[in-house]
Amino acid sequence: MLDATIEPQFTMILGLLGTFAFAMSGIRLAAGKDIDWFGAYIIGLATAIGGGTARDLLLDVTPFWMLDPNYLITTGIALLAALVFKQRVFRLGEPLFMFDALGLGLFTVVGITKSIAAGLPFWVCIAMGTITGSVGGVIRDVLINEVPLLFRKDIYALACVAGGIMYFACKYMGLPDGLTELLAAVTVIAIRLLAVRFHIHLPVIAPVTKK
């Protein structure tokens, strides 16, 4: 088991990795909308901190990024990396959704662990993990005038729910915390990637046609 000093550090590392991944996804999408550097930074930042901010407000605690500037700095590093390697990053196209999938998985785990620390029941922890992972993407899509992935037929939030179930299944089996968090994150990422690769999605609500 991870001890009390290592566990928060591990969760923080997951959060920073998720911040970089989500910020890159936001900056990449902003690149196709004729948005300047500062605007791209704001979109990347909103993508990275939106879900965690919603979670912390629901938990009635100070939003995490107000207590640690590393999340703002990490978003700046993501913007710098996108500018320096733009010939590679901006030509990646569809495969760049890996950044989004990675952020989704990592932030889902961060949301769950923080909710457990707050003493919430497992079903609330899963909901908070889903909010942490998916709301940032909703804010990003709204800012760039796209229909949010959460509201499309894509498997998105459901991947977070599946990751949460995996997390508590691993806890029930007594697996170490680090392995539990890794398996939960991999579950979210794998489901998201497989759903896109094989075009797996939920049925859409078809409109009623008049006869």
Is the distance from CB of 175 to CB of 166 less than 8 angstroms? no
CA distance 71 to 100: 17
CA distance 198 to 51: 27
| Exposure letters 31-65 (e unless 16+ CB within 10 A, then b) | beeebeeeebbbbbbbbbbbbbbbbbeebeeeebb
- For residue range 93-144, list pLDDT tens digits in order: 554 678 889 999 999 999 999 999 999 999 999 999 999 999 999 999 999 9
Q: List the chain residues with pLDDT less than 50.
A: 1-6, 95
State the residue for tokens 């796209």. Answer: 146
